[in-house]
Amino acid sequence: MAVRQIIRFPHPCLRQKAEPIVHIDDEVRVLATDLTETMHAAPGIGITAVHIGVLRRLVVIQLQGHAEPHISVNPEIVWSSPEMIRHMEGSVSMPGVNDEIERHARVRVRYRGLDDQEREEEAEDLMAVCFQHEIDQLDGIFWVDRLSKLKRDRLIKRFDKLQRTRP
């Protein structure tokens, strides 16, 4: 297992839709382990295969205080609450910048586990935000796309400046 290189914004992969995983095999399990290690090294609380340039629908989320990562193969939101919440978001592909995004307060997500069993669960608050954020990424929607044009342009300029000043 290995920490993989995270692609950086504005890499074109971050705007592409990931392909469904048809068979959950050892290759997918290794990818999930690599994603978990890469997310921890970043550090981050969520990552998709897209973040390492692999266009497959695989998500790893691990919130603080949770002993094990939540691994979702082909996740999809099947229901969203009408209530909305605002949360600071960022990305392992755009480190050093974040902004507040409005998302549904609760969602129900259907996915497959690494054991190939279909699951459905409801998530709220930060976990709901993470599911929406990572599933957006699988659909080629980078989190800054949820900002107004003005906020997005300012944030991208700030990120570009950060990238120029880093060794």
> In this predicted model, what pLDDT tens digit does every residue of 96-136 receive, in sequence order?
999 999 999 999 999 999 999 999 999 999 999 999 999 99
pLDDT of amino acid 34:
98
Sorted by where each begins, the domain ranges of the chain are: 12-165
Residue 74, beta-bridge partner list? none
Q: Enumerate the active-site residues.
A: 134
Condensed to tens digits (0 to 9), the pLDDT of residues 1-34 reads 799 999 999 999 999 999 999 999 999 999 999 9
Q: Which fold has domain 12-165?
A: Peptide Deformylase (3.90.45)
Give CA–CA dist 135/111, Å, rounded.
Answer: 11
pTM for this structure?
A: 0.96
Of residues 46, 37, 41, the one with CA closest to residue 70: 46
Cα 154 to Cα 3, 99, 146, 147, 164: the distances in Å are 31, 11, 14, 10, 16
